[in-house]
Amino acid sequence: MPSITSPSDCQTVITTFDTTPGTCQDLLDALQNAYTAFISKQAGFIGAGLHVNDAQTRIAIYSQWRRREDFQAMLRSDEMRDHHRRFNALCRSFEPVMYDVASVYG
């Protein structure tokens, strides 16, 4: 399971998707399928949380990986490229960004 700590010994990735209320559920289904069938089984995967805004126009995923190279290897795989093509058809844009945890509160 994901755990937010600072300093962190893992790679944090936040991916945001710009979608519409008409395609939000379809995109969410595709993302859940990708995590269940493929992403969660990849080397270095720790955990992820999928978030949807009230207007169903944005989806955000917070994921953690043991190393940035693990995440990059997953992205470069043929299967993930196929998933990305499906995601791209269901949203205006999406962007995965790697982050370092700067601070934790609570």
pTM above 0.95, yes or no: no
Predicted confidence at residue 5, as pLDDT, reads: 86
Q: What is the mean pLDDT of residues 46-54?
A: 98
pLDDT in tens, 34-49: 999 999 999 999 999 9
pLDDT digits (tens, 9 = 90+) for 77-86: 999 999 999 9
Q: Could you give phi then psi for residue 6, rounded to 5 degrees?
A: -140, 125
Identify the pLDDT of residue 90.
97
b/e sequence 77-104, b meaning 16+ C-beta within 10 Å: eeebeebeeebeebbeebeeeeeeeeee
Average pLDDT of the residues of the chain: 96
User: Which domains, and CATH codes, for the chain?
Assistant: 11-99 (3.30.70.100)
Q: Is the pLDDT of residue 2 over 90?
A: no
29 vs 9: CA distance, rounded Å: 30
